[in-house]
Structure 1
């Protein structure tokens, strides 16, 4: 008497187990009913018809894709190795399943070819100094090509640029020469400014001769402070001027 009820209960439980699905907040389920896509469902509890519906889960979280080292020849014929990282996410679960077989593999291959193409179209100095510009260009190209797949490329970052040893030595020499050039320019600029100041000082002393006497006394003080064992006897500048104007020690009376 109770056997049909037990069988019915077992069938109901089996149906619920096979029909009920729970999707997380970051997941969507693309439903195929007898081979035809009827759309995406989720998150939360969804019901599938056993043996008729088939579900493919798709994550909407940002995915990280590591692009391996790529051999690149830059625009100025320098061979380098470049790798990058790509951050992308699925914005249309239906397109990501229907338009491409494996969107992860497809995005990886597209990122490798785009990285080689963009880095090969710029010079080495631009690749090193303007990395943000290169990142933006790669991200724009990837986003344009993956849009039909329901993929949004958020960020592309070039991680590492491996230069040959010969190029590293050449760049080190160039940097050293640049530093020497700057040092010479700064030194010459300092000499130029010092010469201008000296000219101004000479002009002031020429107008005020007593300033030379004060400078003379300051110099004597500095000499005495540097050498304590020496004896410095200051000689008035008037006497020195008299001796310099009359080398033989003659006066007007003697002549």
Structure 2
């Protein structure tokens, strides 16, 4: 049988206490030190010595955390139901607050992100959700960042990943887009008719000022008609020429 002396036991206890008193924190880590249950200091990075059984340490990671926000049912301002998913990027800037002010900062941020996403997007119409996603990302980030500041958390970015619509809404948007294209085509056609009428009006004014120009236009018209190999040609006569014959004295 093996027997251990008091000295050996004390040596083992000393080694155990020594190992439990030494903490090593990486560059992106901090340690929240509590002395008899009361906050003492924020330690790290590097080697940190604590008093075993008197002081406790909570390790905190300061790197950016990627939080997947589950798909949320959102009702837009114009009463359209959509499903929205997003991702939130945040990091701890105050390790003391992240441990003391909130029990589970990750879960708390996740729940807050879900409610904030529904609240902010619910204030916008469906067209804004589809066309102004960058603005919505900024609104959600600012609202979320303000609320998490008391927890020592900084929200650096929010990205809306996907907005899912129902089949009926997709068909309605397609019909709306088609109607918009038809409207634009009609507007363009009307603008072309307006420009053409303005040009014809200007041409008529020029021809009215120069009678010789009208004769040249007649000749050009006859040339075009002759090139088409028509069997019947109608010669237009100027009204003033006919008037001279009608009013000629007998």
Equivalence map 1:11-90=2 (5 Å):
16-90=18-92
Change (3 A) 1:206 1:114: same
Instruction: Tell me the distance in 2 between the aligned counterparts of 1:132 and 1:83.
Output: 14
Output the TM-score relative to the length of structure 1.
0.79
| Structure 1 stretch displaced more, 13-22 or 40-49 | 13-22
Offset of residue 9 of structure 1: 8.1
Instruction: Tell me the distance in 1 between the aligned counterparts of 2:13 and 2:42.
Output: 27
Query: Which consecutive segments of 4 or more residues in structure 1 shift more than 4 A?
Result: 3-16, 212-224, 242-246
Secondary structure of 1:143 counterpart: helix
Instruction: Give the match for residue 96 of structure 1.
Output: 98
Instruction: Give the match for residue 185 of structure 1.
Output: 187
Offset of residue 240 of structure 1: 5.4
Instruction: Tell me the distance in 2 between the aligned counterparts of 1:78 and 1:38.
Output: 52
Q: 1:241 aligns with which of 221, 237, 240?
A: 237
Secondary structure of 2:237 counterpart: helix
Judge conservation of contact 2:218–2:236 (CA < 8 Å) in 1: no
CA distances 1:104-159 after superposition (whole Å, capped 9, x unpaired): 00110111111112222332223223333333332232222212211112222222
CA distances 1:42-91 after superposition (whole Å, capped 9, x unpaired): 11222222333322111112211111111122222211111111111111
Instruction: Give the match for residue 133 of structure 2.
Output: 131
Change (3 A) 1:218 1:107: farther
Judge conservation of contact 2:85–2:162 (CA < 8 Å) in 1: yes
Instruction: Give the match for residue 159 of structure 2.
Output: 157
Instruction: Tell me the distance in 2 between the aligned counterparts of 1:23 and 1:156.
Output: 29
List alignment gaps of at least 5 residues for structure 1: none
Judge conservation of contact 2:21–2:50 (CA < 8 Å) in 1: yes
Instruction: Tell me the distance in 2 between the aligned counterparts of 1:216 and 1:143.
Output: 78
Instruction: Give the match for residue 202 of structure 1.
Output: 204
Instruction: Tell me the distance in 2 between the aligned counterparts of 1:207 and 1:35.
Output: 104
Output the TM-score relative to the length of structure 2.
0.80
List alignment gaps of at least 5 residues for structure 2: none
Instruction: Give the match for residue 116 of structure 1.
Output: 118
Offset of residue 197 of structure 1: 0.5
> How many equivalent pairs are there?
242
Q: 2:173 aligns with which of 129, 151, 171?
A: 171
Change (3 A) 1:222 1:21: farther
- Please provide the CA RMSD for this pair: 3.6
Instruction: Tell me the distance in 2 between the aligned counterparts of 1:196 and 1:242.
Output: 24
Offset of residue 245 of structure 1: 5.0
